[in-house]
Amino acid sequence: GAVVSQHPSRVICKSGTSVKIECRSLDFQATTMFWYRQFPKQSLMLMATSNEGSKATYEQGVEKDKFLINHASLTLSTLTVTSAHPEDSSFYICSARDRLSSGNTIYFGEGSWLTVV
Protein backbone atom coordinates (compact mmCIF):
# COMPACT_ATOMS: atom_id res chain seq x y z
CA GLY A 1 0.00 0.00 0.00
CA ALA A 2 0.89 3.62 -0.30
CA VAL A 3 3.31 4.94 2.28
CA VAL A 4 3.52 8.35 3.84
CA SER A 5 6.68 9.07 5.77
CA GLN A 6 7.11 11.67 8.47
CA HIS A 7 10.36 12.93 9.89
CA PRO A 8 11.34 13.32 12.63
CA SER A 9 9.21 10.88 14.57
CA ARG A 10 10.14 12.59 17.82
CA VAL A 11 11.65 16.00 18.44
CA ILE A 12 12.38 18.02 21.53
CA CYS A 13 13.03 21.71 21.17
CA LYS A 14 13.54 24.66 23.44
CA SER A 15 10.83 27.23 23.93
CA GLY A 16 11.17 30.05 21.42
CA THR A 17 12.86 28.02 18.73
CA SER A 18 11.37 26.71 15.49
CA VAL A 19 11.06 23.13 14.39
CA LYS A 20 10.31 21.65 10.99
CA ILE A 21 8.45 18.41 10.33
CA GLU A 22 8.56 16.76 6.92
CA CYS A 23 5.88 14.69 5.26
CA ARG A 24 6.70 12.66 2.18
CA SER A 25 4.62 10.44 -0.04
CA LEU A 26 7.01 7.64 -0.93
CA ASP A 27 5.35 5.84 -3.81
CA PHE A 28 2.71 8.19 -5.12
CA GLN A 29 2.20 11.81 -6.03
CA ALA A 30 0.13 13.87 -3.65
CA THR A 31 -1.35 17.11 -4.88
CA THR A 32 -3.02 17.51 -1.53
CA MET A 33 -1.60 16.89 1.92
CA PHE A 34 -3.21 17.52 5.26
CA TRP A 35 -1.76 18.39 8.63
CA TYR A 36 -3.45 17.29 11.84
CA ARG A 37 -2.81 17.75 15.49
CA GLN A 38 -3.82 15.18 18.05
CA PHE A 39 -3.88 15.47 21.81
CA PRO A 40 -3.81 12.33 23.98
CA LYS A 41 -6.99 10.29 23.80
CA GLN A 42 -8.60 12.75 21.43
CA SER A 43 -9.52 12.73 17.78
CA LEU A 44 -7.51 14.27 14.99
CA MET A 45 -7.89 18.00 14.54
CA LEU A 46 -7.33 19.25 11.02
CA MET A 47 -4.96 22.21 11.04
CA ALA A 48 -4.55 22.94 7.35
CA THR A 49 -4.84 21.63 3.83
CA SER A 50 -1.74 21.91 1.72
CA ASN A 51 -1.92 22.01 -2.06
CA GLU A 52 1.19 21.63 -4.17
CA GLY A 53 2.38 24.92 -5.51
CA SER A 54 -0.12 27.08 -3.69
CA LYS A 55 -0.75 28.51 -0.27
CA ALA A 56 -2.13 26.28 2.43
CA THR A 57 -5.69 26.64 3.60
CA TYR A 58 -5.85 26.90 7.37
CA GLU A 59 -8.73 25.84 9.57
CA GLN A 60 -10.42 28.40 11.75
CA GLY A 61 -8.42 29.14 14.86
CA VAL A 62 -5.08 27.90 13.48
CA GLU A 63 -2.45 30.60 13.31
CA LYS A 64 -0.90 30.54 9.84
CA ASP A 65 2.09 32.60 10.93
CA LYS A 66 2.86 30.14 13.68
CA PHE A 67 2.33 26.96 11.73
CA LEU A 68 4.04 27.51 8.40
CA ILE A 69 3.19 24.98 5.72
CA ASN A 70 5.06 24.54 2.49
CA HIS A 71 4.14 22.06 -0.25
CA ALA A 72 6.90 22.60 -2.77
CA SER A 73 6.61 19.33 -4.66
CA LEU A 74 4.16 16.53 -5.33
CA THR A 75 5.84 14.35 -2.72
CA LEU A 76 6.85 16.72 0.06
CA SER A 77 5.07 19.01 2.47
CA THR A 78 6.63 20.60 5.53
CA LEU A 79 5.15 22.02 8.73
CA THR A 80 7.28 24.52 10.64
CA VAL A 81 6.23 25.39 14.16
CA THR A 82 7.69 28.84 14.73
CA SER A 83 8.59 30.25 18.13
CA ALA A 84 7.40 27.06 19.75
CA HIS A 85 5.99 27.11 23.26
CA PRO A 86 5.16 24.27 25.65
CA GLU A 87 1.47 24.43 24.67
CA ASP A 88 2.51 23.49 21.12
CA SER A 89 3.66 20.12 22.41
CA SER A 90 1.50 17.58 20.64
CA PHE A 91 1.36 14.73 18.16
CA TYR A 92 1.41 16.09 14.61
CA ILE A 93 0.21 13.85 11.80
CA CYS A 94 0.20 14.42 8.08
CA SER A 95 -1.82 12.65 5.43
CA ALA A 96 -1.74 12.63 1.68
CA ARG A 97 -4.19 11.94 -1.09
CA ASP A 98 -3.07 9.86 -4.03
CA ARG A 99 -3.88 12.02 -7.06
CA LEU A 100 -3.86 9.07 -9.41
CA SER A 101 -6.14 6.82 -7.39
CA SER A 102 -9.61 6.29 -8.76
CA GLY A 103 -11.17 6.84 -5.40
CA ASN A 104 -10.47 9.10 -2.54
CA THR A 105 -7.93 7.18 -0.54
CA ILE A 106 -6.05 9.22 2.00
CA TYR A 107 -3.00 7.77 3.69
CA PHE A 108 -1.55 8.89 6.99
CA GLY A 109 2.00 9.22 8.16
CA GLU A 110 3.27 7.73 11.41
CA GLY A 111 3.10 11.04 13.20
CA SER A 112 5.67 13.28 14.87
CA TRP A 113 5.82 13.87 18.60
CA LEU A 114 6.82 17.41 19.43
CA THR A 115 7.88 18.30 22.96
CA VAL A 116 8.70 21.91 23.71
CA VAL A 117 10.67 22.44 26.90
Q: Does 90 bind another protein (CB under 8 A)?
A: no
The three-state DSSP-derived secondary structure of 17-54 is CCEEEEEEECCCCCCEEEEEEECCCCCEEEEEEEECCC
Residue from 11, 13, 44, 74 that binds another protein (CB under 8 A)? Answer: 44
The reply on whether position 54 binds another protein by CB under 8 A is no
- Exactly one of 97, 98, 114, 116 binds another protein (CB under 8 A); which one? 97
Give the residues across from 72 on adjacent strands.
Answer: none
- What is the Cα 12 distance to its own chain's centre? 17
CB 112 within 8 A of CB 24: no
Nearer to another protein, 17 or 113 (CB): 113
Nearer to another protein, 42 or 83 (CB): 42
Nearest-angstrom CA–CA distance, 81 and 88: 8
CB distance 2 to 27 below 8 Å: yes
32 binds another protein (CB under 8 A): yes
Figure out which of the listed residues 13, 68, 76, 106 binds another protein, where binding follows CB under 8 A: 106
The residues that touch another protein, with contacts defined as CB under 8 A, are 1, 4, 6, 32, 34, 41-44, 46, 49, 91, 93, 95, 97, 103-111, 113
